[in-house]
Amino acid sequence: MATDGTYYYKPTIKHMTETEMKQRTKAFALRVIKLAGSLSKDFVGRRLGDQLLRSGTSVAANYRAACRARSNADFASKLAIAEEEADEARLWMELMIEGGIVSGRRLEKLLDEANQLTAILVASRKTARRTL
């Protein structure tokens, strides 16, 4: 509970298998593809959509690459790239909302998933670095 009396929801962390995380990042990429395809075809919509598409799909690709890493250092490095891409995807979605291109309500769940994936990737990278 915070000092002002409000309660914060702290989700229980569930440990995922490699396969579950691959599925989750792939599902995120598919949702990003659908969003990017639905954006307006004007200059701004195309540019932001392209950036989101690149970073959002890259999360899954880089996580899969991390799973094929040759060492813990390589694994941690590839996780860091996936983490950066998840965070970047969140930035593009925030710009879409703040720029009035897409409603915040429409992106609420996808933004939350980007945030959760970023947190998972950060924790995984930190754990991998400790085992170096």
pLDDT score for 11: 42
Reading the block at residue 130, the tokens are 């400790």
- Cβ atoms of 51 and 93 closer than 8 Å: no
* Domains contained in the chain, CATH given: 18-130 (1.20.1440.60)
Among 45, 30, 28, residue whose Cα is nearest residue 86: 28
The pLDDT value recorded for residue 115 is 96
Mean pLDDT, contiguous 10-residue spans, the chain (132 residues): 41 73 98 96 95 98 96 94 98 96 96 96 91 76
